[in-house]
Chain A
C-alpha cells in the first residue's frame, strides 16, 4: 500500500509539473479533478486502515485479557499442584517410615538376642530411615550409668575418638531416663565447647546442646525406651546439614520405633529367661530320670536277691522239717515206746505246727518261683466246670460243717480255658476256702463266670463278715492278715491271696476285690483267652 501511494504521489507531482508548464486550461482542470479523486481515495483508504487497526487492537486486547485470565487459572493450578506435591512429600515420608517400621518388625521376629536386636535397629535407623547416626542404649537395671547393651551406627570410626557412651548417658539421664521425656534439638551450635566443670545435674538446661556436641549432631532426638513401664534406655537419632532437620514427625516415628523395640526386648528377655529355666528343668528331669532308673535297677536286683534268698532258705528249711515231721509221727505212733496222753497232745501240736510251717514254706517257695519267672505255667485246655466240681468236692466236708450253699453259675457252653490246671485249681481252692472261713453258717457262696470276646471274667462272692476299706487295700500284701475274730482264732500264712494274685498275673490276668463289712466280699478276676497251643509247638 505504501509503495502504491508513494508512486501515486510521485506520478501526480510529475504530471503536475508537466501540466503547469504546458499552459493548457483543460489539462489544468483535468489535473485538478484528478488530484481531487486521488485525495478522496487516499482519505478513504486511510479511514479503512484506521478502522482495521482499531479492530486489531480490540482483538489483541481480548487475547491479552484471555491470556491474563488463563494465567490466573494457571496460578490456581500451580498452587493446587504445589499443595498436592507438599502433601505427597509429607505423606511419602510418613509412608516410607511406616514401611521401614513394618519391614523392621518382621526382621525383629527372627532375632534371638538383645545385642543383635540393638544392632539391627541402629543399622536400620541409618540405612533405611535416613538418619545420619543412631545410638541405642539399654542401661544396667541396677547401675544406671553403666550401659548393659549399646549399639551405634553411622559414627565414623575414623573420627578418631569413639564416643564416650557412659559420659553421654550422664547427660541423657536426667531428662530422658528420670522423667521419661524426649529430648529434641533442631539446631545445635557444635562449635561451642561443653561447659567445663559442670555436672549434668547442675546444668540441666545445657543438656540438649551438650548431647549434640558429644554426638556431633546438629539436629537430633532422644526418645526413652520403656521396659516394664520404666525408662531403661534410650534411642538417639539425628542428622547434620545438608540433610533436613528433624521435626515432630521424626520424634513421633522414633517413639513408635522405640516402643516396638521395647516390646521386642521384653519378649526377648522373657524368651531368654524361659529358655534358661526350660533348659534347667530339662536337665533336672534328666538327672532325676537317671537316678530313678538306677534306683529301679537296684530294687529289681534286691527283689531278685530276696526271691533267691527266700527260695534258698525255704528249700533248706523243708528238709529238716520233713525229718521233724517223720520223727514226730514215729514217736506219736508209739514205735519208740508208749506215749502218755500229755505227750500225745504235745506231739499233736508239734505235728500241726510242722504242717503249718511246711505249708508256709511251700507257698513262699511258689511265690518266689513265680515272681522270679523260674516256674513256667504248664498250659493246657481246662474244662472249668469239671475243675470247679473237683474243688467243691474237695472242700465238701468244710462246707457241710458250716451248712453253706455253693451256687455255681456258669454258662452251659463255656469254651475250654488255656491255663495251668493245677494253678487255677489252687486259685479257686484258696478263694473258696477263704470264703468258707469268713462266711457264717447257712451262708451262700456264689461262683460266676461270664465270657467276653477278650477274656473270661469270674467272681467268687460270699455273704461273709466283709472287710473295712483299709484292709481291702492291703489284702494282696505278703503276710498281711486282716484283724478280725476269725483270724485271731485261726492261724494263716498271709500268703494265700498273694499267691493267687501271682498266679493270675502269670496268666496275663488281673484280680480285684470289693467288700463291705457285714455284707460279704467279692473277688473278681479275669483271665484272657489264649489260643490253644499247637501240637507241634508242644512237641518241640
Chain B
C-alpha cells in the first residue's frame, strides 16, 4: 500500500509558466499522472491567479491547498521568490480539504466552518490536520478554538499562517485551485497513518517581566501602564528614532513578547505585526490576554538551530517506530530574518533528523499552529510565533 510523493519548484519570472513548471516537476518526481493532494506555497511576487492556473494546467489533483509565503522551504533548503509544490498520491493516506471564510468577521465561526467541512466526509481514523489561515486578518487563536469546538480539544493541528514577503499587506490562501484572502484552509489527514508534530523556538526571555494592563485580543495597548510601543522604544534606544513606525514592526519581529506557560519548557511567543502610529498600540500575530505577564524575548542562531533539531526529534519520536514518508515544515518568518544567509542550516538540521531522503515542503509564515507538549494541556493545539513546526507523516 504505497504512497507516492513528489516535490517541484520554479523560479521562472512568468507566473503561469512558473506554476506549470513547479507542478510538472512535482508530478514527474511522484511518477503518477494524478495527485490526491497538491500542497502549494508561493511567493506573492507571482500573479497569484495565473500561478494557480499554471499549476492546475500541469497537475490534476483531487484536493488542493496552500497559501502565499515569506519564503519557501524544500529539502534542498530555503528559497525566496519561488513557488513550491508537493504532490501526494497514496493508498493509505486519505485527505479532505476545507475552507473557512471571513476570519476577520468571526474567527471562531470560520474555524467551525473549516472543521465542519472536514468532518462532512466522515472519514474514519483522522490523525491530524494541516491549517493555513490568513496571517494578517482575524484572530488565529479564536480560529483554533472554533476548530477545536468541532474536532475536540486534543485533536492535533499543525500549520502556518499565510504570509506576504514581509510587506504585511495582504496574504492569499489557495483552496481547490481558487484564490482567497481573509480565509483559512484546512487539510484533514486520515487513514492508517501516523502524524508526529514537534514545535520549538529557542528564544530566551530578556529583561523585566511586564504586565499587559490594557489590551484587546491581539492588540496590546498598555504595558505596566505605559503605551505599549514604549517598550520597544526604550529597548531599541536611539535606533528607534531612525526606525519609523513601519520599520519598527519590521525590526521588532526578531524581538517578540513571551508568555510563560505553566509546565511548558519554553515561553509562548507573540510577534509584532504592526505598530499603530496614532495610539502607540502594538498589533500582534496572536492574542495576548489582558493581565498576562509578558517578557521581551531574544533569539540566537545557536539556540534556534538547537530548537529546530529538537522539534524534528519530537516529531520523529512521536511516530516511532514508523519512519516518516514526507514532512511539512512551518517556520516563522522571523527565523528567516534571524538566520539570514544561514537559514539553510535550520533545514539541514531538520533533514538530518528526518532522514535525507524524506521529501520536505513548507514555508516561512506569520504564525504557527501546533499542540502544546505539557501534560496539563492534553495536546491542546495553540497558536505560536517565532516557532518552528515539523509535521512528520508516515503513510507506508
Q: Decide yes or no whether B283 CB sits under 8 A from chain A.
A: no
A75 to B207, CA, bound (A): 8
Q: Knowing A78-B255, A127-B12, A132-B45 touch, does A242 contact B235 (C-beta < 8 A)? A: no
Q: Are A74 and B296 in touch, CB under 8 angstroms?
A: yes
A248 to B340, CA, bound (A): 21
A205 to B14, CA, bound (A): 33
Q: What 10 pairs between A and B have smallest CB-CB spacing? A: A242-B167, A74-B207, A127-B11, A153-B13, A126-B13, A92-B340, A78-B235, A71-B208, A154-B13, A92-B341
- Taking CB atoms, residues of chain A closer than 8 Å to B255 are 78, 82
Q: Are A85 and B14 in touch, CB under 8 angstroms?
A: no
Q: Decide yes or no whether A339 CB sits under 8 A from chain B.
A: no
- Taking CB atoms, residues of chain B closer than 8 Å to A132 are 45
Q: Knowing A132-B45, A241-B167, A242-B44 touch, does A78 contact B206 (C-beta < 8 A)? A: yes
Q: Are A243 and B167 in touch, CB under 8 angstroms?
A: yes
Closest to B341 in A: A92
Which residues of chain B (253-273) have a CB below 8 Å from chain A?
254-255
A188 to B236, CA, bound (A): 32
Q: Decide yes or no whether A130 CB sits under 8 A from chain B.
A: yes
Chain B 14-27 interface 0/1 with A at a Cβ cutoff of 8 Å (1 = within): 11100000000000
Q: Are B239 and A70 in touch, CB under 8 angstroms?
A: no
Chain B 109-150 interface 0/1 with A at a Cβ cutoff of 8 Å (1 = within): 000000000000000000000000000000000000000000
- Taking CB atoms, residues of chain B closer than 8 Å to A158 are 16, 47, 50
A95 to B342, CA, bound (A): 12
Q: Are A79 and B341 in touch, CB under 8 angstroms?
A: no
A71 to B296, CA, bound (A): 10
Which residues of chain A (111-155) have a CB below 8 Å from chain B?
123, 126-128, 130, 132, 153-154
Q: Are B81 and A157 in touch, CB under 8 angstroms?
A: no
A67 to B209, CA, bound (A): 9
Chain B 53-67 interface 0/1 with A at a Cβ cutoff of 8 Å (1 = within): 000000000000000
Contact of B14 among A86, A95, A156, A241 (CB under 8 A): A156
Q: Knowing A127-B12, A127-B81 touch, does A83 contact B206 (C-beta < 8 A)? A: no
- Taking CB atoms, residues of chain B closer than 8 Å to A313 are none
A70 to B235, CA, bound (A): 12
Q: Are B298 and A242 in touch, CB under 8 angstroms?
A: no
Q: Are B206 and A85 in touch, CB under 8 angstroms?
A: no
Q: Are A82 and B15 in touch, CB under 8 angstroms?
A: no
Q: Are B13 and A123 in touch, CB under 8 angstroms?
A: yes
Q: Are B14 and A79 in touch, CB under 8 angstroms?
A: no
Q: Knowing A127-B81, A130-B80, A157-B14 touch, does A81 contact B47 (C-beta < 8 A)? A: no
- Taking CB atoms, residues of chain A closer than 8 Å to B338 are 85
Interface residues on B, range: 35 or more
The smallest beta-carbon distance between A92 and chain B, in angstroms, is 4
Q: Knowing A70-B208, A154-B13, A243-B45 touch, does A96 contact B341 (C-beta < 8 A)? A: yes
Closest to A242 in B: B167
Q: Are A67 and B80 in touch, CB under 8 angstroms?
A: no
- Taking CB atoms, residues of chain A closer than 8 Å to B279 are none
The smallest beta-carbon distance between B204 and chain A, in angstroms, is 11
Interface residues contributed by chain A, number (CB under 8 Å) = 33
- Taking CB atoms, residues of chain B closer than 8 Å to A96 are 341
Q: Knowing A68-B208, A127-B81 touch, does A242 contact B340 (C-beta < 8 A)? A: no
Contacts A/B (CB < 8 Å), 28 sampled: A68-B208, A70-B208, A71-B207, A74-B207, A74-B235, A75-B237, A77-B206, A78-B207, A78-B235, A78-B298, A81-B298, A82-B236, A82-B239, A82-B255, A83-B239, A86-B251, A88-B340, A92-B341, A126-B13, A132-B45, A158-B16, A158-B47, A242-B44, A242-B164, A242-B166, A242-B167, A242-B168, A243-B45
Q: Are B47 and A156 in touch, CB under 8 angstroms?
A: yes
- Taking CB atoms, residues of chain A closer than 8 Å to B47 are 156, 158
- Taking CB atoms, residues of chain B closer than 8 Å to A95 are 341
- Taking CB atoms, residues of chain B closer than 8 Å to A77 are 206, 298
Q: Decide yes or no whether A89 CB sits under 8 A from chain B.
A: yes
The smallest beta-carbon distance between A242 and chain B, in angstroms, is 2
A78 to B206, CA, bound (A): 9
Contact of B50 among A67, A68, A156, A241 (CB under 8 A): A156
- Taking CB atoms, residues of chain A closer than 8 Å to B13 are 123, 126-127, 153-154
A92 to B169, CA, bound (A): 25
A39 to B164, CA, bound (A): 74
Which residues of chain B (4-41) have a CB below 8 Å from chain A?
11-16
Between A and B, how many residue pairs show CB distances below 8 Å? 81
Q: Decide yes or no whether B165 CB sits under 8 A from chain A.
A: yes
Contact of B169 among A88, A128, A242 (CB under 8 A): A242
Q: Decide yes or no whether B337 CB sits under 8 A from chain A.
A: yes
A88 to B14, CA, bound (A): 31
A88 to B299, CA, bound (A): 14
The smallest beta-carbon distance between A90 and chain B, in angstroms, is 10
Chain B 158-173 interface 0/1 with A at a Cβ cutoff of 8 Å (1 = within): 0000001111110000
Q: Are A79 and B239 in touch, CB under 8 angstroms?
A: yes
B236, B338, B340 — which one has the most chain A CB atoms within 10 A of its CB? B340
A77, A123, A132, A243 — which one has the most chain B CB atoms within 10 A of its CB? A243
The smallest beta-carbon distance between B364 and chain A, in angstroms, is 15
A314 to B52, CA, bound (A): 99
Closest to A72 in B: B207
- Taking CB atoms, residues of chain B closer than 8 Å to A243 are 45, 165, 167
A381 to B12, CA, bound (A): 87
Which residues of chain B (187-219) have a CB below 8 Å from chain A?
206-208
Chain A 51-91 interface 0/1 with B at a Cβ cutoff of 8 Å (1 = within): 00000000000000001101100110111011101101100
Taking A79-B239, A243-B45 as known contacts, 18 extra A-B pairs with beta carbons closer than 8 A to each other, sorted by chain A number, are: A71-B207, A71-B208, A77-B298, A78-B236, A79-B236, A81-B254, A85-B254, A85-B337, A88-B340, A96-B341, A127-B81, A154-B13, A156-B47, A158-B47, A242-B164, A242-B169, A243-B165, A243-B167
Q: Are B239 and A75 in touch, CB under 8 angstroms?
A: no
Q: Knowing A74-B235, A242-B167 touch, does A89 contact B337 (C-beta < 8 A)? A: yes
Chain B 324-357 interface 0/1 with A at a Cβ cutoff of 8 Å (1 = within): 0000000000000110110000000000000000
A158 to B50, CA, bound (A): 9
A85 to B255, CA, bound (A): 11
Closest to A68 in B: B208
- Taking CB atoms, residues of chain A closer than 8 Å to B11 are 127-128
A83 to B237, CA, bound (A): 11
Closest to A127 in B: B11
A77, A78, A154, A156 — which one has the most chain B CB atoms within 10 A of its CB? A78
- Taking CB atoms, residues of chain B closer than 8 Å to A81 are 254, 298
Contact of B251 among A68, A75, A85, A130 (CB under 8 A): A85
Closest to A95 in B: B341
The smallest beta-carbon distance between A111 and chain B, in angstroms, is 18
Chain A 88-111 interface 0/1 with B at a Cβ cutoff of 8 Å (1 = within): 110010011000000000000000
The smallest beta-carbon distance between A43 and chain B, in angstroms, is 39
